[in-house]
Structure 1
Amino acid sequence: MNERINIFFESMAERLTNENDLSDITYALCKTDNDFRKFFLEYCFEEAVDTDNLIREYADEGSRPDFYFIGRDNNEYLIEVKIYDRNQHFDQYNKQFPNAKYAYISNYILNDEDLCEADKRALPLWKLKTWFDYYKKLSESAIKDKDLVVGYLSYLGEVIHVKEFEEMDISKISCLPIFIGNIEKVANDKGFSTYSGAKAINECYYGSFFQKENFYFWFGLYLPEEAIFIGLNNDESWITSEVKDALNKNLEKISETEFSEKPFYNSDGNHGDYWFTLKEDKYKILKDASQKDEQLEVLQGFLTSVMKSIGVE
């Protein structure tokens, strides 16, 4: 990659970090590189689409979508961009642009508490995307090695805080922050967003809460036992009624897996009632800093096996 381009994008990431900045830079690259524009638009709308008249912040009677265009198929399209702002306009845009196709891209996963009743009704017409998924797909795409795309990926990764998995020795205090970053990467890659609305750490617990729609769980270390757990609260404000019913009725029937011991019930307040434990032989791999790839596989496998066993994908 051209070193000057790299410095250029890294410097922008130091200062241009809000959602308007991200939209502006994405727009500039769409106007500069046809392949990038087609990839971005096709990702947002899940169909082959392109345009010669992409408009940034199209204003129409009080509405101002971040991107608006008429496709080469003569259909109308608009894209709403978010980073942290949760002020939604689904119903407003549906009414103002009734014939459009709609896409929404954010660095979080929408849940019901983000939406008013009108927006909930409007939501089925929208394609919902995340910047994390876009980053992953763009970094694996056929255009990933183009200089401007490489630079854009470095910028995007900084702005949306993409985490890279790091080697660690989990028995060392200095590696505990790395552990938090690693479980956040693993959970985010599975489509769960990090939830900060509850205290995830105390004198015994060191971890993070994660969510997807109306489902929440705790993932982390239980320090007194030197063990990694995933905890689920027995409460429909934290887990869906389907998951709660399944766990209440079938907890004893859930088998151990390659990564997880059989789950058990032990109410422990904020952090969980239903508990899944990472197997001891897998935990030992997290103490060997030379096994970075295996460590990633362990945390991915543990999370995947737990979610599969309770019917959450």
Structure 2
Amino acid sequence: MSKPIHGGGVDAAMSELGLSRQQIDDFSASINPLGTPPEVRRALADALERIGDYPEIDATSLRADLAAFHHLPEKNLLPGSGSTELIYLLPRVFKPRRALLVQPCFSEYAPALRQADCSIDTVSLVAEEGFAFSIEAVLSALQPDTDLVLLANPGNPTGVAIDPCQLVSLATQLGDRRLVVDEAFIDFCSQHSVLPQVTQLANLLVLRSMTKFYAIPGVRVGYLAASQADIELLSAGKEPWTLSNLAIAAGKACLAATGYQQQTLRLIPQLRDELARGLEALGIKVFTSETNYLLCQMPPGIGAPINALRQQGILIRGCGDFAPLDDSFFRVAVLSADANSRLLTSLEKLLC
């Protein structure tokens, strides 16, 4: 079985194209264009003094800071080496018999579930309806032995956010079935988060990533919020020392970077709207997004110009592998104004 496809791959592009990192604009990985917060860079430099020590076995100090940041008890939080580690941990520990995925969705969900011999059903959100979420569609797709539902809010690659009231209602109607909500990009639209509800809903689990918003994909920091009972089960099944001293320091510094957080929330909507307007002016359909990326669709009969742009050092994420999408769909991150302008100029030359 082939491995899932992902964005990024800058090193491979540098080798293939003979370009430096500075010559490549990576629109395929949705990372904050502001770059890593200065607080994090300083924390990483300081943490180098501790690389001769074992890290905290379960990132206790980061969990304490996360609890203070989210106003949650520490017993409801579990740090991990990026949310992907936790995506794989969940089925190993809970051993679900049958899971329902709301798609299009992150490509690691299915492999993580298959490792536990879990049967997988899907329910698809469709482009014609703007990828709008439907509780009724999810409930109607449940099977008698479905014991886990997994979805993302906001969606990846769609960027469409779900009203948290809908998710609370869904969790309530699922009864004993677990609802896992992947909030990897929720920091860009935190009003849609259901993380505060984990103390009230025993079947709700919320995944978080610090990679995207804080631009630290090379460090790997994420966490999970859930009931105390589920956190205890997951903690018991989790490997020790999965977060290094560097990762723990970076995660704690991210939480303290309030100026960076505010600047991001001011800048991203402006850059996103400008990029969306530029793409639409070229005849490309752009779906509404509340994140730092845009799902786009080429005009009928035209595939996404992935290879042509790649030869120019511009990487975009083709979305043909995201069921039920096809090769006319692609995703672009919101980068700097200059990088966005370069993308639009290159697309205009290819399309006109």
- TM-score, normalised to structure 2's length? 0.26
Higher relative contact order (CA 8 A, sep 6+): 2
Largest Rg, 1 or 2: 1
